[in-house]
Amino acid sequence: MRNFKQFMLFVMVGSLLSLTSCSSDDDGGGAGSAGSGVLVAKVDGTSYQSLEISSSATVANGGQNLIIIATNSDGKAFAFTIFGYEGVGTYDLDGSVISNVNVASYTETDVDLNNPQNSTTEIWQAPYDNSAVGFLKVSEETDTKVIGTFQFTCKNLNGDQSVKTVTDGSFNLNKQVQ
């Protein structure tokens, strides 16, 4: 009986150590599900995937800014601008920050091929008020890639004032430096 108690104590201590010593959500979070070169997300529950040829992550201004642009052939696009970029970490989309507000947008363009002047573009922006509406997490940055996840809510400020919810966002983008 004594051996059984010692064995159970050993199992419990081992389990406790294994559960507390590792974390699957470091400061930059997990890598997400995006394939190489693309950005994926759900917009109000509808799946979105960008094209590799029109998607990139640019580290600009001496490494202080991160700019992500990702578009697809359906006229839909995402854009992020992160100020005070420092590599792996979490960047809030928070309108209550007084300076260097990180921003995100989701855009839908409907092109009228018969009369291109009748084409329309709607832009949903985040943040749209003085509150935190989401985040972008960079989980890995190499010489050639920027990888991470995101989620946010955004509002069509210049249109119908509708709000869209972006979930399950992840990116695995080719990196450019300017």
Does 12 reside within a domain? no
Between strands 89-94 and 120-126, the pairing is unpaired
Does 132 reside within a domain? yes
Torsion sign, CA atoms 91, 92, 97, 100: positive
Does 151 reside within a domain? yes
Number of structural domains in the chain: 1
| Residue 37 contacts residue 173 (beta carbons within 8 Å) | yes
Does 42 reside within a domain? yes
Residue 134 to residue 129: CA distance in whole angstroms:
12
Q: Using the predicted structure, report yes or no on whether residue 107 has a pLDDT greater than 90.
A: yes
Q: Using the predicted structure, report yes or no on whether residue 86 has a pLDDT greater than 80.
A: yes
DSSP 152-170: EEEE-TTTT--EEEEEEEE
Q: For 110-122, how does the pLDDT look when each residue is reduced to its tens digit (9 = 90+)?
A: 988 999 899 999 9
34 lies in which domain range? 26-177
pLDDT on residue 32: 80
Report the predicted TM-score, pTM, of the whole model to 2 decimal places.
0.81
Does 129 reside within a domain? yes
Q: For 144-160, how does the pLDDT look when each residue is reduced to its tens digit (9 = 90+)?
A: 999 999 999 999 999 99
